[in-house]
Amino acid sequence: MAKKDEPMSEGEEETEAESISESESESQSLSGGGESKGGLEYIMSLPDVPTKLPPHMELQRTRVFCNADAPIHTDTVQYSGAFAALGEDNSFRLDHFRKNFRIEVMRYSEDDMEFDMIGIDPALANAFRRILIAEVPTMAIEKVLIANNTSVVQDEVLAHRLGLIPISVDPRLFEYADNNAPNERNTIVFKLHAHCERVKGERRRHTVKANDLKWLPNGSEFLLESGDSNSNSTSKPKTHTSFSCSQDSLPEFSNNPIGFKGKLNDIIIAKLGSGQEIELEAHAVKGIGKTHAKWSPVATTWYRMLPEVVLLEEIEDEMAEKLKSKCPVGVFDIEDIANGKKKLTVARPRACTLCRECIREGEEGEKRVSLRRVKDHFIFTIESTGALPPDVLFTEAVKILESKCERVISDLS
């Protein structure tokens, strides 16, 4: 290297330029500048970096270990470079997600559905659960106009019970309510008039059920009280709704009357004694579970991580029988092996409820059986209230999450 202020010879200048360009290219590589490899990519390409995690760390990354006292390794590591020194690129990649994400339907009926959601982060699985409970809209009775109620059920309790009856109608066909303008696009009106006749010498009882609620496609029949004495007596009297047409003339409802399907018809509203009567009108509007649980489209929805039950040693004969009898859900089975011996096998790991009965003996138990949960595999269950089928509820939840993401992206850009 030439001293400061001293001119360099031609040869010395070339050597200096080479060494500067070498150190520049090295610093570019580390900082990810230019066309060279970026930080994590550079680390991963170094020859000394191993190509994958050691097995015990891979298990910790992908499984929750359920020990006798408490679960461990419950976190999901999101930092992309968390395992870079061990050769694992932990970054989230859309192409990997697309390739690995799967949904497998295990059970389906019109009321409930169980499916496996594989290759997804717990935060996203939980987002779907929360959206299903609180943000997928349904129609529910919000306003009850009571003309007569001589039953033992108080007005407010009766109104509350009516609100909780799931209505079998697609909420996507309706708009959110405008309190000042209940119309055929945002309100469904039902009428209930039930009476238990009084007969001398008889102790009568009458059960009022959801199927006693009759749909009024033309809207409310109760007249609005008008203080205007000059109103034109020939004009149509005003009611509590302003429908411009009958709902059964709309193509969506012409062949599909609004009401309660199947078992929902049998929901008991009240029991009337002799001479008791209920006369009311119930107005249903669109809403979400976040406002009130009556709008929640699910009775419940939940998920659990896929259980893994692993035998760490051969368990035979007496001990095999003992462990099999300990499991309350029949995860284990006994297999006959040579010389009249028997060994324990894991037959139904999916049924494991993690009660830990099989590892109750503490360390001894944990040496025989390892209970784990797969961190990115969720057994998801949706129980619909009956308003919409469970698969439609899930696709609606996906659409809501998508619109939320779009909103965040547009707010940020």
Residues in contact with ligand SF4 by the rule CB under 6 A: 309, 326-327, 329, 331, 352-358, 371
Question: Minimum CB separation from ligand SF4 for residue 113, in Å?
Answer: 23
Task: Kindly tell me which of 310 and 398 has the beta carbon lying closer to ligand SF4.
Answer: 310
Q: Are 146 and 155 in contact (CB under 8 A)?
A: yes
**What residue type is 388 in one-letter code?**
L
* Distance from C-alpha of 353 to C-alpha of 66, rounded to nearest angstrom: 11
Q: How far is the CB of 187 from ligand SF4 (least distance, A)?
A: 49
- What is the C-alpha separation between 43 and 89, in angstroms, rounded? 10
The nearest distance, CB 104 to ligand SF4, in angstroms, is 22
DSSP 17: H
3-state secondary structure 355-395: CCHHHCCCHHHHHHEEEEEEEEEEEEEEEECCCCCHHHHHH
CA distance 142 to 187: 10
- Least distance CB 312 / ligand SF4 (angstroms): 13
Nearest to ligand SF4 of 317, 357 (CB atom): 357
Give the shortest CB-322-to-ligand SF4 separation in angstroms.
11
What stretch of H or E contains 251? helix 251-254
134 or 346, CB closer to ligand SF4? 346
Of 271 and 368, which has the nearer Cβ to ligand SF4?
368
Our CB check for ligand SF4 shows the closer of 69 and 225 to be: 69
Residue type, 405: C
Q: What is the closest distance, in whole angstroms, from the C-beta atom of residue 368 to ligand SF4 in the complex?
A: 11
Q: Which is nearer to ligand SF4, 41 or 357 (CB)?
A: 357
159 contacts 314 by C-beta, under 8 angstroms: no
Closest CA to 391 of 301, 256, 307, 304: 301
| Alpha-carbon span 367 to 369, nearest angstrom | 6
Please report how close the Cβ of residue 219 comes to ligand SF4 at its closest, in angstroms.
Answer: 55
What DSSP state is assigned to residue 205?
Answer: E
| CB closer to ligand SF4 out of 38 and 71 | 71
Alpha-carbon span 410 to 276, nearest angstrom: 58
